[in-house]
């Protein structure tokens, strides 16, 4: 018996090792599944309203999404790319002015009180320097990386394959469960689908609202490049907690080149917008299954970023959304809630 348990433990350890080695592929697979789940909702709507076969509905859905991406890219990307040098120069000038203000404060305030602030300011300036600026570095990494292109193609191809016949892949996944539990597992998958779709709709809505509010606020404050900064803020909404913190740095630095009070006004503006998004928009838009505790959201992002890198950071929230459903339904409702004291006593006597 002990030998059998040892073999089982070794096999389980080997299985975990294999999963860890292919973690990048698994994340890409999950990305394709998440995309297919969201797009499948659009496919079903087209099927029901236009009364057409699934293949045509899938093709129309993909064409509509491509047309939307191309249209948005044609409007947004040229404007951002043309203004990258100006944005970088303004941010650098803002940090130079911050450094000058810090030097003045050093002469006024004695001691080492501002040492940590100075270190943070120098760190920020290095991040946004010409050689390693966020804007240029971001586009260089993602546009010139062959791995990124290949991974993107892989995700697109797998997404289309899943969309072609999602029920077949669903049935294969259900075979991993015992026969008596497959109906229940199928119900849990439906809840995961509902949560993913609700999360995606909420994220898109929040991104749109934050982009619009940021654009209006920055325009009224007279901050340079309001459109670029607003798009940047909306894009980083995809990363809750961490994204809003990062999005305020460029416009605040640019506003500092105009007047210190404008930099403070930008920070206050972004705090108000993010608080509105967190306390009003998200509860109204997100479904109950999607709502996550802020601490869990932040810790999950840090954990996934440490273990899986940038892709893990972007996928942290949908992964947690799906994991939350499985933990709630499988672990809590089906195991822990039905755990009987007699079961524990029997387990103790057997061991």
**Residue 124 domain flag:** no
Burial class (CB in 10 A: 0-12, 13-18, 19+), 216: middle
**Residue 267 domain flag:** yes
The boundaries of the domain holding residue 308 are 167-338
- C-beta separation of 129 from 92 below 8 A: yes
Max mean pLDDT among 80-84, 100-104, 129-133, 229-233 falls in 229-233
Predicted confidence at residue 94, as pLDDT, reads 64
In whole angstroms, give the CA distance from residue 277 to residue 99: 32
**Residue 236 domain flag:** yes
The band of 102, judged by pLDDT with boundaries at 50, 70 and 90, is low
- Token readout for 198 is 């609700």
**Residue 271 domain flag:** yes
- C-beta separation of 201 from 258 below 8 A: no
In whole angstroms, give the CA distance from residue 299 to residue 316: 10
Give the whole-number percent of the chain exceeding pLDDT 70.
Answer: 71
Predicted confidence at residue 114, as pLDDT, reads 45
- Lowest mean pLDDT segment, chosen from 108-117, 247-256, 314-323, 337-346: 108-117
**Residue 221 domain flag:** yes
| Residue-wise pLDDT tens digits, 209-247 | 889 999 999 999 888 878 888 888 888 887 766 777 788
In whole angstroms, give the CA distance from residue 245 to residue 272: 13
In whole angstroms, give the CA distance from residue 19 to residue 240: 27
**Residue 275 domain flag:** yes
∠ CA 160-163-164 to the nearest 5 degrees?
90
| Residue-wise pLDDT tens digits, 117-154 | 444 445 445 444 444 454 455 445 445 556 777 888 89
In whole angstroms, give the CA distance from residue 57 to residue 223: 45
In whole angstroms, give the CA distance from residue 226 to residue 142: 24
For all residues of the chain together, what is the average pLDDT?
A: 77
pTM of the model: 0.71
- Token readout for 128 is 């946004």
- Token readout for 144 is 């010139």
**Residue 219 domain flag:** yes
Better-scored residue on pLDDT, 58 or 343: 58
Report the domain count for the chain. Answer: 1
Max mean pLDDT among 92-96, 167-171, 309-313 falls in 167-171
**Residue 281 domain flag:** yes
Predicted confidence at residue 224, as pLDDT, reads 80
């Amino acid at each position: 018996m002990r030998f059998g348990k040892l073999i089982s433990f070794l096999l389980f350890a080997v299985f975990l090792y294999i999963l860890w080695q292919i973690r990048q592929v698994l994340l890409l697979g999950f990305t394709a599944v998440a995309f297919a789940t969201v797009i499948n909702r659009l496919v079903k709507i087209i099927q029901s309203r236009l009364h057409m076969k699934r293949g045509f509905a899938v093709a129309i859905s993909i064409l509509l999404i491509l047309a939307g991406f191309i249209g948005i890219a044609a409007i947004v990307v040229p404007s951002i790319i043309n203004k990258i040098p100006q944005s970088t120069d303004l941010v650098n000038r803002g940090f130079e002015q911050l450094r000058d203000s810090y030097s003045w404060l050093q002469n006024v305030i004695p001691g080492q009180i501002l040492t940590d602030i100075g270190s943070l300011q120098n760190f920020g300036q290095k991040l946004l320097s010409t050689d390693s600026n966020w804007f240029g570095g971001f586009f260089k990494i993602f546009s010139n990386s062959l791995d990124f292109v290949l991974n993107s193609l892989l995700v697109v191809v797998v997404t289309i394959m899943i969309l072609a016949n999602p029920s077949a892949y669903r049935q294969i996944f259900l075979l991993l469960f015992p026969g008596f539990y497959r109906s229940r597992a199928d119900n849990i998958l439906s809840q995961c689908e509902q949560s993913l779709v609700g999360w995606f709709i909420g994220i898109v809505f929040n991104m749109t609202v934050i982009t619009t509010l940021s654009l209006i606020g920055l325009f009224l404050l007279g901050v340079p490049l309001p459109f670029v900064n607003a798009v940047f803020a909306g894009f980083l909404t995809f990363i809750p907690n961490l994204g809003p913190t990062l999005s305020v740095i460029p416009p605040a630095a640019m506003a500092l080149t105009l007047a210190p009070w404008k930099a403070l006004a930008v920070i206050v503006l972004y705090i108000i917008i993010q608080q509105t998004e967190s306390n009003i928009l998200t509860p109204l838009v997100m479904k109950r299954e999607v709502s996550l505790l802020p601490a869990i959201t932040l810790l999950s992002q840090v954990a996934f970023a440490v273990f899986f890198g940038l892709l893990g950071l972007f996928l942290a929230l949908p992964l947690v959304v799906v994991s939350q459903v499985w933990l709630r339904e499988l672990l809590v409702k089906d195991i822990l809630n039905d755990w009987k004291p007699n079961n524990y006593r029997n387990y103790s006597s057997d061991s």
